[in-house]
Amino acid sequence: MKIGEAVNLHGVPTSIHVCDSCESQFTVFPAAGDDWGGCMSEKCSSYDEDRDADKLFDNNDPRIQRDDDLAEITDNIIDIEANLPHRVLEVICVHCMHRWIAVAPVEALLRDYECHNCRKIAGVISTGQEMTNE
């Protein structure tokens, strides 16, 4: 039975339920309606393993991680700027006159830029406006 709604740590709406069989409280996301059946407690007779998203994380697939495992990898984050010199410049498309701020590797040529608006290549030029971190 649904008893309320909340928002989880990631900003996703969740619904709060109490199992009719064992009276365990659990959350479902995205939020479910009153018609959610079954329980999320493994000890309950109405528990359905196929509906338990946490079971996806129990298969040792390195591409899937639980949120509580992320603390182990945060020490290995590499600043992309340390390995990839880039430039920031204001550009304009000569085809559709769309203007935007481009961030690209230093070695990238303007003739290879693609316009985000018309999707054409080889028509982007710099406006000459300098962009700095200050």
Beta strands in 8-130 (DSSP E): 13-18, 25-28, 86-93, 99-105, 124-130
pTM of the predicted structure, to 2 decimals: 0.39
Q: What is the pLDDT of residues 2-61, one digit of tens each?
A: 888 888 777 778 888 888 888 888 887 777 777 777 777 778 888 877 777 666 666 666
